[in-house]
Structure formats: C-alpha cells, structure tokens
Amino acid sequence: MQRLAFKMKLNKGQKDIYTKRHNELWPELKKLLKEAGVSEYSIFFDEETNTLFAFQKVSGNGGSQDLSENEIVKKWWNFMVDIMEVNPDNSPVSIPLEEVFYLK
C-alpha cells in the first residue's frame, strides 16, 4: 500500500461549490477510483492560500493521477474547470508532495 499526497489550487471564493461537488461525487467516478486501487482519499483546504491538500492510500503503482485517459475523469475535470487552476487539458494543476515523516 502506498500513500500519495499532492496539492492543487482552488480559485478564490470557490470552497463551498468545491465541497458541494465532492459531497455529490458521481457514483461512476467513485467506482472507478476504487477499482484503480484508491482505498482512502481525503482533501483538505487551506483558507489562507486557497490550496487543496490531497492524500490517498493506493494499492498498486498508481492513484487517481494515473487515470487521465479515462472518459469519466475527463468529464469530471471539465465539470471542475471553472473553480480551480487547471492545465491546458483541463486536468487540475497537481503538484506531488514528498513524504518526509510517517508515524505508524
């Protein structure tokens, strides 16, 4: 089991809509993530910087960041493009974070 973390940037004033959209996560996207080996996925928000911090537990070698060719994922990105920083393909700008400490 690997632990992955990354950060993304939310546009100012979009926390409530971001939270609402994730509280109503599409069943087909949730199923896809589980099938890809994502067993836990948390996203935290830093109000001072509008930074999102994401953490995943993943079995296998990949995580949600490796599903970029999936049509459900592309549809989700298009749904989220208006509220966060994105790349030219509408994927969220996502910066991997290095784990420097883990207490088990």
Show which residues are catalytic. 22
In terms of Cα–Cα distance, which of 20, 98, 14, 28 is closest to 67? 28
Q: How far apart are CA 63 and CA 33, in angstroms?
A: 8
Distance between CA atoms of 18 and 32, rounded to whole angstroms?
20
